[in-house]
Structure 1
Amino acid sequence: MLVDAHCHLDFAQFDDDRQAMFARAEEAGVVHFIVPGTTRAGWPSVLRMSERNAVSVGLGLHPCFMNEHREEDLETLESMLDEHAHLVALGECGIDARFSETLDDQWHFFDAQLRLAKSRKLPVVIHCVHADDKVSKRLKQLDLPAGGLIHAFTGSPEQAEKFIELGYKVGLGGSVTYERAQRVRRMVATLPDDGYVLETDSPDMPLCGYQGQRNEPARIAQVAAVVAELRHQSVEQVAADSTANAKRLFRLEEL
């Protein structure tokens, strides 16, 4: 039994075969999917995904789409959080330091969303690229009660430990399958059993051997196999631990 803790199944890349994609995932043992929102325009399609029993969703404003965000989107997000009680997270939000020209705006939107999550005791789904230390410092300052997910984590063991101590899980996905990603693979081996979840970031973050192809949740079984090998554990143990961690983080009582 596996949970894909971060996948964008509402994206247009799945419009032609979404039902078949779900069938392949279920055949691979994936029983639940967490779909985060990225832009205000995309929130309706994310909410429609939650009509499927196996899908839980969050809403947020992603740092890579700053040109689409407006100040009033934060007010709308606040209203949506109150209107849709079934949301399991706020996100995807965060900081991507590759886009230096929008960093000030990124921090403004990130801080605002963190405060919304804190006031509603929601976990946050965080996109963090080249900003692990600054983001962990900010999370420590704000002390969010429900923690969250550091999505697609590729930092050091020390950085992972900081996030985990603050009550966050780190997301492991396609990057762990590349032999050249030695730092990431060493980090995976050091994580506590309750410190991580598995994710695909579908349709992005392809696994080794699938470069240039659309990613999909069925391949999380291959991520689990690599994580098990790196941690010297059974696939069954990794599946059980990562599923239990996702269940606690997102309060998935039905699993």
Structure 2
Amino acid sequence: MKEIFKPFENIGRNSRLLIIASWVIAVLAFWFISSMGERHLFPSPAQVLRGFTELYNEGLVVHIGSSLWLCLVAIVIAVTISLILSYLSTIPVITPIANALSKLRYLPLTGITFYLAIIISDARTMQVWVLVVFMSTYLTTSLLSMVSAIAQEEFDHARSLQCNRWEVLWEVVVKGRIDHVIEVIRQNLAIVWMMLVTVESILVAAGGLGFLIKNSDKFMNHGRIIALQIVILVVGLSIDFILNYLRKTFFRYSKI
């Protein structure tokens, strides 16, 4: 047992499961203790369970579908923009544009929505583009780092095979780093999923998990809020697991 308290110690599968189970029990115990008494930090498990029931009866599945669709549309557009700019950043004339987009990640969300509201009138379209701008900045930053981290030996090897410059770009940067791209998307997807609640408050009529949280917060229904937080976490972790599984399945020899 002493091994689990030592840094860089390799432990077996049973030990890992024991540690996870211990932490789960500790968290549940803290939850039960903190929900006792008249004044408590968290709603009781019974309140959260009742919140799940109420949310399901109010169409929780439909709202999850609305949030996932919004997220999917934004991701497809953001990934397309970021990939094109990142791949073309190897061309000197495009490099400043890609670098400028990555620097926009310092802009606050309020500033982004202000300028988009001037250009876009449709609220649903505005939701999509707020997420697109927000994700594109971080995604481009990660992809530029990926491109710059490619060893010079790989480019030299492609040139030794008589590849021209465009073929080098295709073989080394595009085809040779697809597994890295999936990992970058997986990491940055968490940012979009985290911002989903804020963005969905722009148009409550479209529904979504953000609408449910705003509505529950307005009526101070803490049981529903915690239930929704659990749903958002579970859905987000499920998306992360699926992307990681696909990467490991299609790129079995990935070094990531």
TM over 0.5, yes or no? no
Tell me the TM-score normalised to structure 1 length. 0.22
Rg comparison, structure with higher value: 2
Instruction: From the two aligned structures, give the one with the greater strand fraction.
Output: 1
